[in-house]
Amino acid sequence: MNIYEAISMISLGLSLALIPLIILVWKRINRVHRLLGVALKLKEPQALEKIGRIRKRYIVFSVVSEGKPLTRKAIEEGIRRAFKELYGETILVRADPQIVYYEPSVKRGVIRVAHLYKDQMIALLGSIKNIDDTKVLIIPVKTTGTIKKARKILYMMRRELQI
């Protein structure tokens, strides 16, 4: 057996060994194409439900600031501005960060964000240093899946301050 016959036998053996892998990849690609085809044929809300529903996450946060007290609107605008600068306007629209609850007296609140962008939001909160020319530190405390649980966490934190 010469070298050419040996190489051809090895290549034939490798080709036969890779056939199951090729079939598996082909099936996955077809599945993705089917899902995308369904998504394109349906209207936008129905397409999201078919592929996977966008869930919300609630991030409980605490604010440490110097100088004047910040309003809910100022904090939300600062967060949205920083998110847009770091990740872009498209991701900002998809993540849709909103402050659903903020208590200025204890400087704590809850931000709602799409579940796909929860980690980006937590990283962003730690990086914000200024809002309306006020030095600020936003500390993410806890992440939950419901607003009820987030408010419960805020209530427990407030009770700890009173004791």
**Whether residues 89 and 120 fall in one domain:** yes
What pLDDT digit, counting tens, does each position of 90-126 carry? 989 999 999 999 988 888 999 999 999 999 999 999 8
End position of a domain, from candidates 30, 50, 70: 50
What pLDDT digit, counting tens, does each position of 68-95 carry? 788 999 999 999 999 999 999 998 999 9
The confidence band for 2, taking pLDDT boundaries of 50, 70 and 90, is: confident
**Whether residues 62 and 138 fall in one domain:** yes
The total number of structural domains in the chain stands at 2
Per-residue pLDDT, averaged over 42-57, amounts to 63
- β-strands 108-114, 130-131 pairing: unpaired
CATH number at 155 reads 3.30.70.3250
Domain region containing 131 = 56-162
